[in-house]
A and B are shown apart, each in its own frame.
Chain A
């Protein structure tokens, strides 16, 4: 097998607060292969969005931000790139779609200009050629009547259409990896289904890889090949999608999946986890999930668990994993 397109090794993202460093992302490692869709799933504050930003080095560039570890894109470390290399990486090699299309688009430029801006970064195009490429990008995201829509302003489009435009900006330069951070959270169910289908079709057309950052296990089930589950800044389980749903090895994953109401008939009560996730300044020693874990043992409270491989492509960070 060829080397993965993207390798993340022991990534840590932290902020200096007083005399200590608080890590929002702590020792995260994963790979993404060509054409694959990897899910990064977890609850708010678990560090999944920060991880996505760090892959393109878009975390805030202040003196108090700490970035450690390696993000290797086709063998080159993104974290040690110079600005010029970063500019050619962003938008061309790796692109991003964010949650809220209202804030991703600039209200005072028409959408054609905003798509062209991205293309201009990576190639020299003259006016007519550029117009063709903009319209082509709009057509690829299935926007009807692309010629006239290119002159529309964001406020003239619906939420679903705006999110398609954000998609058009992201794929205009044919990236190899698309990071999608909760791209459908603000959309209605029927529009969400259309948008997810569109992303799948775009992926099939260009064989691009995707990293899907989401809190929604339904999105994971529909879109991903493999998944990483994050809790309190760490990846606690990595598995093929089917294994995750059928044979979750981490107690957190199992409780999360059991806590989602099903569309079919439900049992009387949902599984629930007591308490709430820890804050970065008060991380428990030992396993970070120990205070909420239904199967906690003395050792869990004292020592951090190692990442153990329980099967091909199935890893879990737990002293006493579940056996299905």
Chain B
């Protein structure tokens, strides 16, 4: 792994939300630990995948990394500078360099703005002149496979796949270094999804972009990512290179997720080690290791204390006390 300063880094970052629960007459304040002391780093030009089931905190983590959510613990660093204490200019530079693309292009594009204004808005906020902006908008639209003449059209004139291209063009317009893609292809049909995934890979090769690729579909994440982090109830349970994670998953939750994936071949055997039960409520996460209530190899010690992330083999990080130090990935 590179020792250079990461582009974007979270150190022990947490985000707790307080919620009020009504029990009859009583109102109880409780705290949901959506993201719980997560360490994660993104390096220039790489794609980091982030997977987990709904409610695991992957969207909250991506919002923390975008600066859209302030951490309740820990900090997010952009090129080594803590966002909480960064100056106005540094924050401006951060917001230009780190851009989001959201899941639903029907709600992330203002229906009353023309495509030219939508894509140009981040440029004008950044202080670009009208001519400069127009040139960059045209360039961004052409990069994503649309044309400069599309600037005068409204979002409703585009199909879902084309709208997502507009959203990507908006992210590209101010020459970012990192794009956070939160379920950016999940709502697209297969043929459109393949087009967008190929486009994202081309843009990365051409412009040296880094991606944080947040998704629940494990196959898509493997196709896109060099490294993958798996989240469960607010914590990262496994972080490894994509090949190591998919070929030799170490954490029992990662294994269960992979065996629950649907086959790409009708002859594939039906897995027998199916995970039972459901995700526990994040309002009352299990003690110790959050996964012990569903874990096939849990022992008493798992209920007592939360395990730390340990290095298994060469560089695979696993949060489980039952996985031996030297496992298959050591070859």
Which residue numbers of A lie inside 8 Å of B, CB to CB?
43-44, 158, 160-161, 188-194, 196-197, 215-222, 241-242, 245, 255-256, 258-266, 268-274, 276-277
B193 within 8 A of A: yes
Cα of A161 to Cα of B278 in the assembled complex, Å = 9
User: What's the nearest-Cβ distance from chain A to residue B32, in Å?
Assistant: 16
A263 touches B261 (CB 8 A): yes
B54–A273 contact, CB under 8 A?
A: no
Shortest distance from the beta carbon of A199 to any chain B beta carbon, whole Å: 13
Is there contact, CB below 8 Å, between A216 and B191?
no
Chain A residue nearest to B162 (CB atoms) is: A276
Q: Which residues of B contact A261 (CB under 8 A)?
A: 197, 217, 219-220, 222-224
A263–B264 contact, CB under 8 A? yes
The contact string, 1 if C-beta is below 8 Å from chain A, for chain B 17-42, is 00000000000000000000000000
Closest chain A residue to B191, Cβ basis: A273
Given contacts A189-B218, A190-B275, A255-B191, contact A217 B264 (CB under 8 A): yes
**Closest approach, in angstroms, between the C-beta of B154 and any C-beta of chain A?**
18
Whole-angstrom distance from the CB of A296 to the nearest CB of chain B? 16
With A194-B276, A256-B190, A261-B197 in contact, is A270–B262 under 8 Å at CB? Answer: no
Residue of B nearest to A240 (CB): B266
Q: Does B270 count as interface, using CB distance less than 8 angstroms?
A: yes
Known: A263-B261, A268-B201. 7 other contacts (CB 8 A): A194-B275, A218-B261, A242-B267, A245-B266, A258-B194, A261-B197, A273-B194
Shortest CB–CB separation between residue A272 and chain B, in angstroms?
Answer: 4
Complex Cα–Cα for A175 and B145 (A): 49
Min distance, Cβ B294 to any Cβ of chain A, angstroms: 9
Complex: A9 Cα to B267 Cα, angstroms: 31
Q: Judge whether B53 and A262 touch: CB under 8 Å.
A: no
In angstroms, Cα B198 to Cα A175, docked, is 44
Number of A-B contacts (CB under 8 A): 125
Distance in angstroms between the alpha carbons of A297 and B257 in the assembled complex: 44
Which of B54, B190, B266 is in CB contact (< 8 Å) with A43? Answer: B190
Report if B128 contacts A (CB, 8 A).
no
A245 to B266, CA, bound (A): 7
Chain B residues near A160 (CB-CB < 8 A): 278
Contact A263 B266 (CB under 8 A): no
**B216 sits at the interface (CB 8 A):** yes
Task: Kindly state the separation between the CA atoms of A191 and B274 in the bound complex, as whole angstroms.
Answer: 10
Minimum CB distance partner of A268 in chain B? B201
Interface contact A191-B190, CB-CB below 8 Å: no
Cross-chain contact of B264 among A44, A218, A270 (Cβ < 8 A)? A218
Residues of B within 8 A of A263 (CB): 218-219, 222, 246, 258, 261, 264
Q: List 28 A-B contacts (CB under 8 A).
A: A44-B189, A160-B278, A188-B216, A189-B53, A190-B260, A192-B260, A192-B262, A196-B262, A197-B270, A197-B274, A217-B264, A218-B264, A219-B262, A221-B266, A222-B266, A241-B266, A255-B191, A258-B194, A261-B220, A263-B222, A263-B261, A264-B264, A269-B201, A270-B197, A272-B195, A273-B194, A276-B161, A277-B191
Is B149 in contact with chain A by the CB < 8 A criterion?
Answer: no
Give which listed residue, A43, A242, A265, contacts B191 with CB less than 8 A: A43
A189 and B260 in contact, given A215-B190, A222-B270 (Cβ under 8 angstroms):
yes
Chain B residues with a Cβ closer than 8 Å to the other chain, count: 45
Chain B, residue nearest A267 (CB): B223
- B288 on the interface (CB 8 Å rule)? no
B189, chain A: closest CB distance, angstroms = 4
Q: Does B256 contact A (CB under 8 A)?
A: yes
Query: How far is the CB of B249 from the nearest CB of chain A, in Å?
Result: 11
Chain B residues contacting A276 (CB-CB under 8 Å) are 159, 161-162, 191-192
Do B260 and A272 have beta carbons less than 8 Å apart? Answer: no
Q: From B198, B243, B261, B266, give the contact of A189 (CB < 8 A).
A: B261
A264 partner residues in chain B, CB cutoff 8 A: 246, 264
Q: What residues of B have a CB within 8 angstroms of the CB of A255 in the complex?
A: 191
Chain A residue at minimal CB-CB distance from B161: A276
Chain A neighbourhood of B257, CB < 8 A: 189-190
Which chain A residues border B194 with CB–CB below 8 Å? Answer: 258-260, 270-273
B263 within 8 A of A: yes
Q: How far is the CA of A274 from the CA of B266 in the complex (A)?
A: 27
Minimum CB–CB distance from B105 to chain A (whole Å) comes to 14
Residues of B within 8 A of A221 (CB): 262-266, 268
Complex alpha-carbon distance, A221 and B159, angstroms: 29
A266 touching B198, Cβ below 8 Å: no
Q: What's the nearest-Cβ distance from chain B to residue A255, in Å? A: 7
Partner of B53, one of A190, A194, A242, A271: A190
Q: Which parts of B242-263 form the interface with A (CB within 8 Å)?
A: 243, 246, 256-263
- Contact among B223, B246, B260, B279 for A270, CB-based, below 8 A: B223
Q: Determine the distance from Cα of A255 to Cα of B270 in the docked complex, in whole angstroms.
A: 26
Quote the shortest CB–CB distance from B305 to chain A (angstroms): 25
Chain B residues within an 8 Å CB radius of A219:
262
Q: What 1/0 flags go to B213-242 for Cβ under 8 Å of A? A: 000111110111000000000000000000
CA distance A273 to B246 in the complex (A): 28
A188–B263 CB distance below 8 A = no
For the complex, give the distance between the alpha carbons of A44 and B220 in Å.
19
CA A255 – CA B276 in complex, angstroms?
35
CB distance from B259 to the nearest CB of A (A): 8
CB distance from B262 to the nearest CB of A (A): 3
A309 to B130, CA, bound (A): 61
Closest to A245 in B: B266
In the bound complex, residues from chain A placing their C-beta under 8 Å from that of B279 are: 188
Contacts of B193 in A (CB 8 A): 259
Complexed CA–CA distance, A122 and B258 (Å): 42
Contact at A272–B219, with CB atoms within 8 Å?
no
Q: Is the CB of A270 within 8 A of B219?
A: no
Minimum distance in angstroms from B226 CB to a CB of chain A: 13
List the B residue with the shortest CB-CB distance to A255: B191
